[in-house]
Amino acid sequence: MGILDFLSGQFIDVIHWVDNTRDTMVWRFEREGHEIKYGAKLTVREGQTAVFVHEGQIADVFTPGLYMLETNNMPIMTSLQHWDHGFRSPFKSEIYFVNTTRFNGLKWGTKNPIICRDPEFGPVRLRAFGTYSVRVTDPARFLSEIVGTDGEFTSDEISFQIRNIIVQEFSRLIAGSGIPVLDMAANTQELGKMLADGISSTIADYGLSLPELYIENISLPAAVEAALDKRTSMGVIGNLDAYTKFQAAEALGKDGSAAGQAMGTGFGAGLGMSMGAQMTGAQAGPWGTRPASPAQQPAAAAPPPPPPPPVEHVWHLAENGQTSGPFSKARLGRMVTEGGLTRETYVWTQGQDGWKRAEDVAELAQLFTVMPPPPPGA
């Protein structure tokens, strides 16, 4: 130790702490050899508490104010040291300044989903997160239970432990609450109060309190939320048939859509037919184009249809008690030439009344008239 350090330690008689951070909860006043001058001034600002630790024991606790470190202001220290009334010598002690303001914006959340039984959906997995604030309410207990001899203790060093306590209590609370998942958003304030009350005794054992605790969100897994969105969509749609028609009408109104192009084509065809009907004088009725009245029809009648083609008969022959055929008329013509058919040969065809001689059938009589005459000299 240098002489300057020793002299500066002897003459420093003002003890105070100005916090320039936003997360320091406890700060130890550093003094060479931990020697405090008797009669020194101690300034404790609002939102602070000073704790004296002497030989490992918590001696005196000072709330906000200005103090002269004398025997009458340090009753516990005086009792421990057996100081008499005229004591004026320096003494060794550690001074810890404790920040008693609120530390806001601390976050908590479930690392893994919480499985609980929902009265409507059955077993579901829930996640939750939120914020809270913490404050030191018992500096001596906080120093002995949490801080120890740490010269600069920040809120990050205790936030993880508090977060675990909140999540554990939240899991127990949400599993036994019986509140449906769909109603939890409306009960986050009540759940937050119940959660804070449930962990208050555990937090108080650390010398802390939670002035505020908020549940910002309680969410379901992504797959369950997607199914819930579909269910909500069906409820919003209501009449599915009417919604389908509405969707189809919207599709028709979109430029470039297939349905719109098809509708345009049909509309054009209908418009063309309507114009043609107007040009011919036809009138439109409820079931389409109304036929023209007799007065509007043309005077000339339509030509009759052509006659049906003639039916060719086939013939049967009877000679010497035997029948043969059927033969076509062309075949009978060749038989006349060959002598196989004479005028006296009996013939029959379908629709004829019995057997007749060939010369008596008008259709066959002409076969015998085209025969060449007998050769000369016959």
> Over the stretch 59-84, which tens digit does the pLDDT of each residue have?
889 999 998 877 555 555 555 454 45
What's the fold here for domain 315-369? Dna Ligase; domain 1 (3.30.1490)
Inform me whether the pLDDT recorded for 346 exceeds 60.
yes
pLDDT digits (tens, 9 = 90+) for 81-125: 544 544 444 667 788 999 999 999 999 999 999 988 888 888 889
* CA end-to-end span of the chain: 178
Judge contact between 174 and 126, C-beta under 8 A: yes
- Kindly list the domain boundaries of the chain, sorted by start residue: 3-99, 103-224, 315-369
pLDDT at residue 327, as a whole number: 78
pLDDT digits (tens, 9 = 90+) for 20-34: 888 999 999 887 766
% the chain with pLDDT above 70: 70
Q: Average the pLDDT over 37-46 and give the result.
A: 86
Comparison of pLDDT for 31 and 47, the residue scoring more: 47
pTM for the full predicted model? 0.56
pLDDT at residue 244, as a whole number: 76
Judge contact between 60 and 143, C-beta under 8 A: no
pLDDT at residue 7, as a whole number: 45
Which contacts (CB < 8 Å, 24+ apart) does range 18-25 have?
Answer: 18/45, 19/99, 21/154, 23/103, 23/154, 23/155, 23/156, 24/99, 24/152, 24/153, 24/154, 25/98, 25/99, 25/103, 25/136, 25/142, 25/147, 25/153, 25/154, 25/155, 25/158
Q: Average the pLDDT over 281-297 and give the result.
A: 54
What's the fold here for domain 103-224? Tetrahydropterin Synthase; Chain A (3.30.479)
pLDDT digits (tens, 9 = 90+) for 179-227: 888 888 889 999 999 999 999 999 999 999 999 999 999 988 888 888 7
Inform me whether the pLDDT recorded for 246 exceeds 90.
no
Beta bridge mates, 322: 319
